Amino acid sequence: MNIALIGGIGSGKSEVLKVAREMGIAALSADEINAGLLKSPEYIEKIAAAFPGCVVCGVVDKARLASEVFSDKGKREKLNSIAHPEIARKVAECKESPLVVELPLVLESGMAGMFDEIILVSAPRRARMARLAGRGVEPARARAIMRAQKPVFKLRGVATRVIDNSGSLEDLRASARDVLRIFCE
């Protein structure tokens, strides 16, 4: 049983993933997979070929790369065409069940078919902006990232379940436990 966690930046996906891990459920994060890929010379070569100014002395300048891809849809699609097949491979290699995968770009990645369930973590835009500000993300950058992501109504269209994160952190954690418990029975 493969379960995708989707939702916009700042919606609470990472907290739900944390709850899954606390419950003993196998869990992966696309961001964590990508962080591992950024240590692979072969992957870095692909990034360097596509984004020459974003690799310095064999290291990806993540801030520069993010700045480029969030301001240009074509560049974002190019990066996704490099990253998504690698992420899909890592997910496919994991045979544990249930497996929860935090994958914000499930639609863009073409990986929706790999999942039996797709859980949307939904939060009001104002709350998401506040969370991002708490992480030190500038408001203009937060808005740019949100604009680059699929709108919530499109995510609701593919979600099999929704976890509402308009309350407190403990409310989110309780809702996550309730939903995830279903997959442990």
Q: What is the CATH number of the domain that holds 175?
A: 3.40.50.300
**What pLDDT sits at residue 19?**
98
The pLDDT > 70 percentage for the chain reads 100
Q: How far apart are CA 71 and CA 50, in angstroms?
A: 16
Q: What is the mean predicted confidence (pLDDT) over 141-167?
A: 89
**What pLDDT sits at residue 152?**
86
> Any binding-site annotation on 93?
no
Angle at which helix 139-148 crosses helix 125-134, to 10 degrees, equals: 130
The model's confidence at residue 108, banded by pLDDT at 50, 70 and 90, is confident
Given a cut of 80, whether residue 114 has pLDDT beyond it is: yes
> Any binding-site annotation on 166?
no
Structural domain containing residue 126: 2-184
In DSSP terms, 52 is beta-bridged to none
Q: What is the number of domains present in the chain?
A: 1
Given a cut of 90, whether residue 162 has pLDDT beyond it is: yes
pTM: 0.86
> Any binding-site annotation on 29?
no
pLDDT digits (tens, 9 = 90+) for 69-95: 878 889 988 999 999 999 999 999 999
> Any binding-site annotation on 10?
yes
The pLDDT > 90 percentage for the chain reads 67
- The conformation of residue 149, written as its DSSP 8-state character, comes to S
> Any binding-site annotation on 14?
yes
Q: What is the mean pLDDT of the chain?
A: 92
Collapsed DSSP state (helix, strand, coil) of residue 72: coil
**What pLDDT sits at residue 168?**
93
pLDDT digits (tens, 9 = 90+) for 26-69: 999 998 999 999 999 999 999 999 999 899 989 999 989 988 88
> Any binding-site annotation on 13?
yes
**What pLDDT sits at residue 72?**
85
pLDDT digits (tens, 9 = 90+) for 140-153: 989 988 888 888 88
Q: Quick one: tokens of 46?
A: 């692909």
Give φ, ψ of 173 to 5 degrees: -65, -40
Q: How far apart are CA 47 and CA 51, in angstroms?
A: 6
